[in-house]
Every structure is written in structure tokens, then in C-alpha cells.
Amino acid sequence: VSPEAEPPKHSMSRAVKTVSDLWREWTTGLQGGPSITALDNRWGSRWRAGRQAEVQWYSLRLEVIREIRRVAGMRRTSEETAVAFVAAEQRQSNCSLDLYCKRLRANRKIREADGTGGGASAGAEGRKGRRTAR
């Protein structure tokens, strides 16, 4: 069995507290570790399979990555500019990265139910009176 036959047992950092740091972990990796994108490209979901805590952590953090890409597309700007925008939204919302992820998920589900793909990010939708996760 070659060392490449099994995916690595990588765990996403629990120390990441900002949108910018999460983006860095996702796209380039932290402290010499692999990026989440590289793990996904090489192993698909197998690198986190069978570890429910890792599956849930990944799934929740993916909400921020989706939001960055959605904002970049809507504003026709770079992903790096969208990172700054989403990071500012998280700071203005005055909530932890974890809570921000949950709000993004709730707002995405509202958009999907409404049939609208656009709209503002979690902070702005919350200000419009949309129900957000608590």
C-alpha cells in the first residue's frame, strides 16, 4: 500500500477566528499545511470522511467561502476584494466566525427558498429584517 492510497487525516484549524484567516487556510494553507482546496481537489470528501466533527466544521466554514465567491460574482470583483468585504461584514455584525457562518447558512437557505440567488451578505440581510440564526 503506497502512502498516497489513504487520504491524510487533516483537521481544519480551530484557532481561525477571522474571514481572512479562513480564506488563507482554504486557499493556501496554514503554517505549511495543505490548503483545503488542495485536499478537496486531491481527495474529494474522503480526507474528512468518517470524522463527523470535521465534516460539520468543514460544512459550516464552507458557508463563508461560498459567500466570498457569491460577493465576488455579484460585485464583479476579485475574490481578494470580496474577502475584505465579507470580513468587514463579519466585523460589523460583531459576532464570532462560528455565529457568522450560521447566519450565512440561514440566509442562504432563505435565498434558496425565495428563489433569489442574489442579495446582500448576512449582515445586510439581517438589517433588512430577515430572520437570522442566533
Rounded CA-CA distance 91/97 in Å is: 9
Q: Where are the domains of the chain?
A: 13-127
* Number of continuous H segments (helices) and E segments (strands) in the chain: 6, 0
Span 5-18, average pLDDT: 93
Single-letter residue type at 25 = E
What are the pLDDT digits (tens) for 43-90? 999 999 999 999 999 999 999 999 999 999 999 999 999 999 999 999
pLDDT tier, 128 (very low <50, low <70, confident <90, very high otherwise) = very low
- pTM comes to 0.81
Q: What is the pLDDT of residue 116?
A: 72
Residues 6+ apart with CB under 8 A from 51: 9, 11
Task: Show the CA angle centred on residue 79, arms to residues 76 and 81, nearest 5°.
Answer: 80
Phi-psi region of 16 (alpha: psi -120 to 50; beta: other; left: phi over 0): beta
CA-CA distance, 99 to 102, in Å (whole number)? 5
Query: Percent of the chain at pLDDT above 70?
Result: 84
Q: What is the pLDDT of residue 5?
A: 80
